[in-house]
Amino acid sequence: MRPLGVTLSACFEFLRGLVVVLFALGVYFVTGMASRVAALAAEGSTLQRALHGFGRFIGTALLIYALILIALGAGLLLRQSWARFLTIVFSFFSLLLLLPRILHFRPLSVLFFLLNVAVIIYLSLPDTRLWFANKIPDAAKSS
């Protein structure tokens, strides 16, 4: 049987992926609206094309990142050691990105910061590492 902490870590990755997807859709929407406003100001302007292209680039990059996060969650559920390692790496970089928002005490940022710390600590524990290395059998296999 999968440890509860692994399942919760995978759910957190899915949640992060969902948040990034929503953010990407917001970027698509806002830059689309901004490019339309720029188009109204000057027909066929360079600004309109630049805003539209930049929005598509950032939105697509965020969607790719969201797919990676969802793949990490699935990898954790499937007991893949690469997913454990990459989840630790991505959580560490998320901590760095959240640091400025923590200093200004944004409650949601503090929550995500603490969840990232918990994921890093849990996935770094020796028992969790051994479970991912298949050295600790599942409860169903041992009985």
Share of the chain above pLDDT 90, in %: 62
Backbone angles phi, psi at 45, to 5 degrees: -75, 160
Question: 């928002």: which residue's tokens?
Answer: 101
- Write down the mean pLDDT value for the chain: 88
Q: Give the model confidence (pLDDT) of 129-143 as tens digits.
A: 999 998 776 654 443
**Amino acid found at 108:** L
pLDDT for 96-140, tens place per residue? 999 988 888 888 889 999 999 999 999 999 999 999 998 776 654
Tell me the per-residue pLDDT of 36-56, one tens digit each, with 9 for 90 and over: 776 666 666 677 777 778 888
Does the pLDDT of residue 70 top 80, yes or no? Answer: yes
- What is the DSSP-derived secondary structure letter of residue 37? H
Q: What pLDDT is recorded for position 30?
A: 86
Q: 113-139 burial string, b = 16+ CB within 10 Å, else e?
A: bebbeebbebbeeeebeebbeeeeeee
Residue (of 124, 98, 104, 99) closest to 16 by Cα position? 98
